[in-house]
């Protein structure tokens, strides 16, 4: 009764978790989490599992016990481990018949105990002896055998040193492999039911990587696998086992004998392809397809070397593609076709390319056939998937994957032959249905749309000098009938051949007319396709179109406001690419011609933008100006004024006014800052006349808005105007540094007012900016009175959980500490011999860094070390480890003390006393031996994780 009373709070919390009261569920969840971390959870878990609680409570107890063994193993004295092992074995005997989820969790518990209980040497023998005495308990043995390799190879949360884990892996897996095979063989022979037991296949799959594959293939187990794949009960597991065997034979030179044994076994499965397709057993068909595809992937090198011998395998994969009416198994073959293409297009495997050419030719026909949209059962062409949007989206994505296969075919059999297949299908459709086609009513349109899609998919593979098929295809495409999906594919297909068109200007007019007419189509999708293709035409044919600037501008102004934002950007990019080809003498005039209507419309929109939707429209319109600035980047002598900058000066007051009016609306000020930033990036030192007013607006904007985009724009100025040269005088670089200090002071004030969690983007932008300032103005910044505050801000920022600001902060700290070494982290270029060399650090700079690190190093160490243990994303570990390494290199004794102090401050139970002592001992030894840099290498702080520290 006492035990039941003790368990009552846990049982009540579990019952609450099934309720609909969210507040109560939150409290119950918090209580259960605290319970799982407590030392009492060890005994309570066993009490629940041995009592009369419901299945849900027992499963919770088994899961808790697993967590305790994995994460809280240090809480148990070593002398209690044999008793724990025996208790788990007793529970497994109790739950031998199930429930299976509980039995599985207990097997995982036993496996993780076996990994950490180093003194337990006869693991498998003990488990078999304890559990394998009757037919009911054998399920526990098999489940344990199944989970053991997975836990050993994937359970990297185990608190063991690397050498201990490697030794334990050898003891548990390598030394038991043959015994496991014998046990599985004996079980398979025990009865026909056993031979088709799914758990038997699962065991084989998990142990395939630990045994010699040849030992499986040449044993009675191979017959068992091939029998299991014929049975419905074990089919899926047998497929997994076969695929695992194939993967282990990827090193074909080492596995030739094994492959020769497996290949006939595989060939015997080929009749099932046709049988499953005729029976419409698509689940089994998918499994068989996977078997052939994975065998092909594993043996692709042998196929390339011996194409005649392995041709039946390639034909089998092709047959799977051809018979897949449901198009559900097809995608499993895509990687095989790609891998095979990669080999047979090499010169050394030219014979295989010749031998398999016809197969890839048939593959093109099959893929184009599968590209067809389904036919609506109701005759409604607007809903081909009967309202199933998920199926429609899946099909669209699937088509693009098939398009990649068509590209592979182009490389094998040649572009011209592939294009010809599409051309023949289009021409055949015209012959059959062209006369019946009317506006919007196109019979059998699926048979026309699919080859058009294939043309679009293969466009990237077609060279500019293709003169056989495209001169026949292009005139055919621009005359296709008007059906929404057909027109869409035709427009998109033409957009893929714009590079070819640039070399064949005689075809440009008809194509451009076809594209521009599509802007008037009632279908929004067709209009979007037209905008994208128009962009490609202008990008690639700008030289041909540069004499038609006025006509293009007129068309641009006519259609712009009718398009959605993405299409507006695409059309703008197209016009901008033609504008970029204009001579300098007329560039300013044409810049005004194209941009003035955009700016005028922008001003009108800004004046009436009083709600979020209209303000977002202003932000989108601002982006169009930025696109022009990104694309129109003519070369102008650095000593001459740039006509593009002249126009930027003209519109600068407009941008300033918009930024000031909408300073509280982030999307707009981000777009304004982006525009200013690209002015500097595109026109570089030519923007010098803009600097005074630009710096004023960036400083004022950051102060009033507290948005990081102003720092992002500031960074472009720092990068461009920080090297003293003939064009950039020293007075300018000095002013730029003073400008940075102004921004830094504002940032520190903001960080003092708000917690870092509310400023992740500002922190990221600021420390990226500061890293660049450190590069160009190291001596000034390191001597600045702002530095202690900047280091304090960096330390505070390391409490964030978001990866990007953490990375920016860590990069700044690494660069800062690097200036404490004899050489600066940046190099200098010698124009005399064209080489780069490290720049020596002045002694004063080194002293400044060491003094600052002495003051801030302890806090930085604490943040980095606890961050790697608890909160940093995985990708931050190398840089955090690099910061600690830099501290060790600068001041090893002090850093060793900071690390030890940090570890001693960790919550009780976070790290075992043994780990703490080993950490301190290893760091001390390396510091004394002058190997402080080894404290940050792999196996050192790079391996710090929750509850474990290794040096």
pLDDT grade for 25, boundaries at 50, 70 and 90? confident
Task: Judge whether residue 907 has pLDDT over 80.
Answer: no
Please indicate, yes or no, whether the overall pTM of this predicted structure exceeds 0.75: yes
The helix or strand, by DSSP H or E, that contains position 839, with its residue range, turns out to be: strand 835-840
- What confidence score (pLDDT) does residue 945 get? 44
- What confidence score (pLDDT) does residue 943 get? 43
Spatial contact of 286 and 276, defined as CB atoms under 8 Å apart = no
Q: What percent of the chain has pLDDT over 70?
A: 93
Q: Give burial (CB, 10 Å; 0-12/13-18/19+) of 313.
A: buried
pLDDT grade for 884, boundaries at 50, 70 and 90? very high
- Look at 322-331, 369-378, 671-680 and tell me which has the smallest mean pLDDT: 369-378
The whole-angstrom separation of Cα 157 and Cα 757 is 29
- What confidence score (pLDDT) does residue 949 get? 37
pLDDT grade for 382, boundaries at 50, 70 and 90? low
pLDDT grade for 299, boundaries at 50, 70 and 90? very high
| Vertex 909: Cα angle to 904 and 911 (nearest 5) | 55
Q: What Cα–Cα distance (Å) separates residue 921 from each residue in 725, 889, 915, 930, 944?
A: 53, 18, 10, 14, 16
- Look at 4-18, 348-362, 557-571 and tell me which has the smallest mean pLDDT: 4-18
Q: Over the stretch 477-487, which tens digit does the pLDDT of each residue have?
A: 999 888 899 99
Mean pLDDT value across residues 770-778: 95
Spatial contact of 763 and 807, defined as CB atoms under 8 Å apart = no
Tell me what the pLDDT averaged over the chain comes to.
91
Residues 6+ apart with CB under 8 A from 608: 614
pLDDT grade for 910, boundaries at 50, 70 and 90? low
Render 536-565 in DSSP notation, one character per residue.
HHHHHTHHHHGGGHHHHHHHHHHHGGGS-H
pLDDT grade for 402, boundaries at 50, 70 and 90? very high
The SS3 assignment for 25 reads helix
Task: Judge whether residue 944 has pLDDT over 50.
Answer: no
The helix or strand, by DSSP H or E, that contains position 683, with its residue range, turns out to be: helix 666-683
**E-strand spans in 618-711?**
none
Task: Judge whether residue 604 has pLDDT over 50.
Answer: yes
Q: What Cα–Cα distance (Å) separates residue 870 from each residue in 149, 353, 763?
A: 28, 54, 21
Task: Judge whether residue 311 has pLDDT over 80.
Answer: yes
Residue 106, phi then psi, degrees to nearest 5: -70, -35
483 HSE (CA, 13 A, CB side)? 22
439 HSE (CA, 13 A, CB side)? 2
pLDDT grade for 832, boundaries at 50, 70 and 90? low
The whole-angstrom separation of Cα 151 and Cα 210 is 13
Task: Judge whether residue 665 has pLDDT over 90.
Answer: yes
Annotate 294-312 with three-state secondary structure. HHHHHCHHHHHHCHHHHHH
- What confidence score (pLDDT) does residue 132 get? 72
Q: Over the stretch 182-200, which tens digit does the pLDDT of each residue have?
A: 999 999 998 888 889 999 9
- What confidence score (pLDDT) does residue 441 get? 82
Neighbours of 387 (CB within 10 A): 7
- What confidence score (pLDDT) does residue 947 get? 40
- What confidence score (pLDDT) does residue 940 get? 46
Spatial contact of 291 and 243, defined as CB atoms under 8 Å apart = yes
- What confidence score (pLDDT) does residue 942 get? 40
pLDDT grade for 950, boundaries at 50, 70 and 90? very low
Spatial contact of 846 and 876, defined as CB atoms under 8 Å apart = no
Tell me: cis bond preceding 99? Omega within 30 of 0 counts. yes
Mean pLDDT value across residues 130-159: 83
Q: What Cα–Cα distance (Å) separates residue 763 from each residue in 705, 797, 941?
A: 14, 7, 25
Residue 638, phi then psi, degrees to nearest 5: -55, -25
Q: Over the stretch 242-296, which tens digit does the pLDDT of each residue have?
A: 999 999 999 999 999 999 999 999 999 999 999 999 999 999 999 999 999 999 9
Mean pLDDT value across residues 566-587: 97
Mean pLDDT value across residues 387-411: 89
Q: Is the dihedral of CA 850, 855, 858, 861 positive or negative?
A: negative
- What confidence score (pLDDT) does residue 951 get? 34
Q: What percent of the chain has pLDDT over 90?
A: 76
The whole-angstrom separation of Cα 58 and Cα 47 is 9
Q: Over the stretch 467-514, which tens digit does the pLDDT of each residue have?
A: 999 999 999 999 988 889 999 999 999 999 999 999 999 999 999 999
Q: Over the stretch 239-254, which tens digit does the pLDDT of each residue have?
A: 999 999 999 999 999 9
Mean pLDDT value across residues 682-695: 95
- What confidence score (pLDDT) does residue 836 get? 76
Radius of gyration for the alpha carbons in the chain, expressed in angstroms and rounded: 35
- What confidence score (pLDDT) does residue 927 get? 61
Spatial contact of 119 and 79, defined as CB atoms under 8 Å apart = no
pLDDT grade for 873, boundaries at 50, 70 and 90? very high
The helix or strand, by DSSP H or E, that contains position 215, with its residue range, turns out to be: helix 213-217
pLDDT grade for 117, boundaries at 50, 70 and 90? very high
Task: Judge whether residue 446 has pLDDT over 80.
Answer: yes
pLDDT grade for 696, boundaries at 50, 70 and 90? very high
Task: Judge whether residue 909 has pLDDT over 70.
Answer: no
Q: Over the stretch 7-18, which tens digit does the pLDDT of each residue have?
A: 888 988 888 888
Task: Judge whether residue 73 has pLDDT over 90.
Answer: no
Provide the total of helices (H) and of strands (E) in the chain, helices listed first: 48, 2
Mean pLDDT value across residues 151-170: 81
Tell me: cis bond preceding 823? Omega within 30 of 0 counts. no
- What confidence score (pLDDT) does residue 489 get? 96
The whole-angstrom separation of Cα 237 and Cα 508 is 57
Q: What Cα–Cα distance (Å) separates residue 737 from each residue in 219, 562, 566, 683?
A: 75, 46, 38, 21
- What confidence score (pLDDT) does residue 156 get? 58
Strand partners, 800: none
- Look at 145-149, 185-189, 627-631, 835-839 and tell me which has the smallest mean pLDDT: 835-839
């Amino acid at each position: 009764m006492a035990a039941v009373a003790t368990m009552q709070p846990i049982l009540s919390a579990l019952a609450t978790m099934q309720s609909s009261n969210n507040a109560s569920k939150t409290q119950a969840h918090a209580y259960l989490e605290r319970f799982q971390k407590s030392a009492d959870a060890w005994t309570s878990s066993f009490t629940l599992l041995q009592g009369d609680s419901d299945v849900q409570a027992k499963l919770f107890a088994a899961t808790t016990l697993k967590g305790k063994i994995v994460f809280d193993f240090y809480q148990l004295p070593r002398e209690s481990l044999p008793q724990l092992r025996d208790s788990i074995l007793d529970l497994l005997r109790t739950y031998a018949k199930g429930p299976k989820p509980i039995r599985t969790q207990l097997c995982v518990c036993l496996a993780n105990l076996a990994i950490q209980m180093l003194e337990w040497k006869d693991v498998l023998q003990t488990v078999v002896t304890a559990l394998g005495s009757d037919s009911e308990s054998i399920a526990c043995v098999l489940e344990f055998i199944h989970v053991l390799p997975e836990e050993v190879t994937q359970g990297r949360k185990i608190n063991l040193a690397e050498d201990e884990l490697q030794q334990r892996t050898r003891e548990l897996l390598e030394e038991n492999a043959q015994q496991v095979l014998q046990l599985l063989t004996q079980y398979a022979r025990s009865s026909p039911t056993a031979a088709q037991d799914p758990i038997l296949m699962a065991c084989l799959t998990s142990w395939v990587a630990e045994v010699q594959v040849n030992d499986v293939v040449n044993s009675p187990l191979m017959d068992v696998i091939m029998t299991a794949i014929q049975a419905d009960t074990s089919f899926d597991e047998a497929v997994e086992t076969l695929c695992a065997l194939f993967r282990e034979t990827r090193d074909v030179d080492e596995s030739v004998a094994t492959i020769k044994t497996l290949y006939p076994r595989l060939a015997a499965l080929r009749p099932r392809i046709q049988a499953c397709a005729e029976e419409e057993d698509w689940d089994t068909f998918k499994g068989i397809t996977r078997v052939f595809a994975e065998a092909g992937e594993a043996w692709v090198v042998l196929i390339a070397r011996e194409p005649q011998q392995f041709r039946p395998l390639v034909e089998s994969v092709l047959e799977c593609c051809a018979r897949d009416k449901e198009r559900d198994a097809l995608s499993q073959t895509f990687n095989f076709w790609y891998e095979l293409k990669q080999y047979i297009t090499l010169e050394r495997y030219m014979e295989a390319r010749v031998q398999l050419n016809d197969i890839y030719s048939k593959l093109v026909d099959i893929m184009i056939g599968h590209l067809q949209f389904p036919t609506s059962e109701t005759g409604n062409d607007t809903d081909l998937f009967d309202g199933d949007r998920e199926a429609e989206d899946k099909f669209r994505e699937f088509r693009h994957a098939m398009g990649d296969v068509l590209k592979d075919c182009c490389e094998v059999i040649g572009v011209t032959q592939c294009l010809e297949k599409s051309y023949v299908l289009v021409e055949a459709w015209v012959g059959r249905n062209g006369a019946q086609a009317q506006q919007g009513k196109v019979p059998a349109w699926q048979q026309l749309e699919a080859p058009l899609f294939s043309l679009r998919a293969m466009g990237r593979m077609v060279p500019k000098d293709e003169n056989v098929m495209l001169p026949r295809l292009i005139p055919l495409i621009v005359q296709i009938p008007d059906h929404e999906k057909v027109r869409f594919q035709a427009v998109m297909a033409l957009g893929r051949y714009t590079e070819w068109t640039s070399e064949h200007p005689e075809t440009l007019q008809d194509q451009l007319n076809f594209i521009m007419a599509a802007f008037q189509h009632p279908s929004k999708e067709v209009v979007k396709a037209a905008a994208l293709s128009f962009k490609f035409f202008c990008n690639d044919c700008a030289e041909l179109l540069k004499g038609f600037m006025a006509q293009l501008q007129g068309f641009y102004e006519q259609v712009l406001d009718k398009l959605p934002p993405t299409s507006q950007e695409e059309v703008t990019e197209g016009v901008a690419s033609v504008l970029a080809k204009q001579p300098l003498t007329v560039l300013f005039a044409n810049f005004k011609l194209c941009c003035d209507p955009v700016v005028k419309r922008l001003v009108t929109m800004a004046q009436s933008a009083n709600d979020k939707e209209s303000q977002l429209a202003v932000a989108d319109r601002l982006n169009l100006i930025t696109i022009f600035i990104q694309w129109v980047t003519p070369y102008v002598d650095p000593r001459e004024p740039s006509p593009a900058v002249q126009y930027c000066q003209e519109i600068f007051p407009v941008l300033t006014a918009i930024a000031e009016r909408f300073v509280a609306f982030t999307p707009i000020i981000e777009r304004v800052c982006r525009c200013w930033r690209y002015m500097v990036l595109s026109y570089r030192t030519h923007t010098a006349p803009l600097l005074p007013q630009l710096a004023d607006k960036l400083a004022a904007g950051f102060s009033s808005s507290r948005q990081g985009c102003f720092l992002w724009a500031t960074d472009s100025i720092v990068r461009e105007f920080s090297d003293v040269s003939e064009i950039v005088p020293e007075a300018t670089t000095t002013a730029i540094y003073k400008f940075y200090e102004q921004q830094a002071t504002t940032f520190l004030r903001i960080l003092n007012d708000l917690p870092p969690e509310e400023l992740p983007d500002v922190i990221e932008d600021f420390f990226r900016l500061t890293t660049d300032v450190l590069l160009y103005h190291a001596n000034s910044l390191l001597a600045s009175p702002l530095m202690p505050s900047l280091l304090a801000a960096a330390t505070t920022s390391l409490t964030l959980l978001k990866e990007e600001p953490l990375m920016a902060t860590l990069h700044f700290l690494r660069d800062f500490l690097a200036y404490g070494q004899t050489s600066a982290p940046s190099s200098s270029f010698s124009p005399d011999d064209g080489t780069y060399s490290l720049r020596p650090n002045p002694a004063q700079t080194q002293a400044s860094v060491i003094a600052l690190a002495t003051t801030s190093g302890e806090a930085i160490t604490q943040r980095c070390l606890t961050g790697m243990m608890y909160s940093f994303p995985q990708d931050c570990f190398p840089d955090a480890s690099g910061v600690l390494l830099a501290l060790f290199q600068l001041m090893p004794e002090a850093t060793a003390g900071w690390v030890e102090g940090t570890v001693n401050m960790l919550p009780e139970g976070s790290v075992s006393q043994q780990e703490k002592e080993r950490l301190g001992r290893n760091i001390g030894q390396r510091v004394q031996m002058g190997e402080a840099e080894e404290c940050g290498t792999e196996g050192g702080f790079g391996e710090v994780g929750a509850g474990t520290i290794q040096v």
